[in-house]
């Protein structure tokens, strides 16, 4: 089964119609008022001094039964909320891993196991969810008390698998970033080498030569850089020695007169 279809499937229960009917029947304002008044009345009877002690003990026990039933009812509400959260987690996982081609085998297996762990959570709370009456909730109270522990174990398994999924995903992402960074560094290195070669080709030292016989000096680019420090031989006279002529490539020398 494709991962997207597997993770996006919704757990169904044959008791949906029964649960809806139960909720519809229990939505009456009179029933709600009676249920709200029950613990108040029982508490008043327990605290009354006029009630026969054995009967008071019976009322106290009945109040405890009522509390247990209410807790089981809360578990049903909690199970419904838990289902919403679990389906929300499935939706986020589907959104995060839409392209199956980019998922490695290890990550795919972890996602499938994680989805199975979520399904086991829904299965664990299903029995508590479909208790229709207080009598049935009381009859199965011991079994329902075990349910939170089972759910906790399933939740621990799901959390471990989710941490594994995150670790695998981070490893895959970091590996892809590393390959991209290596390729970028190679490209930058090639560009820098090309720029260095271009600078060596275009940039050469410039110099000035003084022609003491013609009272002129030349500005150009020498083929060699064998120069001696100039010395003064009278006003306006500089003496320099070079082993090669100065000339601008393609332009010739530029002459300037010395006054």
Average pLDDT of the segment spanning 157-177: 74
Average pLDDT taken over every residue of the chain: 64
**Backbone phi, psi, residue 255, to 5°:** -105, 140
Structure tokens, 103: 């998922």
Give the tens place of pLDDT for each residue, 182-195. 667 666 666 666 66
Place of tokens 């001696």: 228
Output the pTM of the full model: 0.45
Please report, rounded to a whole number, the percentage of residues in the chain having pLDDT higher than 70: 40
pLDDT at 255: 45
pLDDT-derived band at 145 (thresholds 50, 70, 90) equals: confident
Higher pLDDT, 191 or 84: 84
pLDDT at 186: 67
The three-state DSSP-derived secondary structure of the chain is CCHHHHHHCCCCCCCHHHHHHHHHHCCCHHHHHHHHHHHHHHHHHHHCCCCCHHHHHHHHHHHHHHHHHHHHHHHHHHHHHHHHHHHHHHHHHHHHCCCHHHCCHHHHHHHHHHHHHHHHHHHHHHHHHCCCCHHHHHHCHHHHHHHHHHHHHHHHHHHHHHHHHHHHHHHHHHHHHHHHHHHHHHHHHHHHHHHHHHHHHHCCCCEEEEECCCCEEEEEEECCCCECCCEECCCCCEECCECCCEEECCCECEEEECC
Say whether pLDDT at 236 is over 50: no
pLDDT at 18: 47
pLDDT at 3: 57
Reference 90, options 62, 118, 70, 110; nearest CA is: 118
Is residue 223 within 8 A of residue 230, CB to CB? The reply is: no
Average pLDDT of the segment spanning 136-143: 76
CB atoms within 10 A of CB 124: 21
Give the tens place of pLDDT for each residue, 90-120. 787 777 777 767 777 877 888 888 888 888 8
204 CB contacts (<8 Å, ≥6 apart)?
221
- HSE at residue 53, side-chain half, CA atoms within 13 A, is 0
């Amino acid at each position: 089964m494709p991962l997207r279809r597997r993770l996006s499937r919704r757990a169904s229960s044959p008791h949906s119609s029964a649960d809806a009917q139960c909720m519809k029947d229990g939505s009456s304002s009179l029933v709600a008022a009676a249920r709200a008044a029950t613990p108040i009345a029982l508490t008043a009877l327990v605290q009354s001094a006029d009630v026969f002690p054995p009967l008071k003990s019976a009322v106290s026990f009945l109040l405890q039964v009522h509390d247990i039933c209410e807790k089981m009812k809360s578990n049903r509400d909690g199970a419904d909320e838990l289902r919403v959260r679990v389906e929300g987690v499935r939706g986020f996982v589907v959104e995060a891993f839409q392209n199956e081609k980019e998922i490695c085998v290890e990550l795919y297996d972890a996602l499938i196991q994680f989805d199975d762990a979520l399904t086991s959570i829904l299965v664990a709370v299903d029995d508590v969810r479909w208790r229709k009456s207080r009598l049935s909730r009381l009859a199965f109270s011991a079994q329902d008390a075990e349910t939170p522990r089972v759910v906790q174990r399933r939740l621990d398994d799901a959390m471990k698998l989710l941490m594994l999924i995150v670790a695998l995903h981070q490893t895959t992402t970091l590996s892809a970033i590393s390959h991209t960074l290596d390729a970028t560094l190679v490209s930058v290195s090639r560009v820098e080498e090309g720029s260095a070669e271009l600078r060596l080709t275009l940039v050469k030292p410039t110099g000035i030569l003084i022609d003491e016989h013609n009272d002129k000096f030349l500005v150009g680019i020498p083929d060699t850089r064998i120069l001696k420090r100039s010395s003064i031989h009278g006003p306006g006279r500089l003496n320099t020695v070079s082993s090669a002529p100065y000339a601008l490539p393609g332009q010739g020398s530029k002459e300037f007169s010395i006054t």
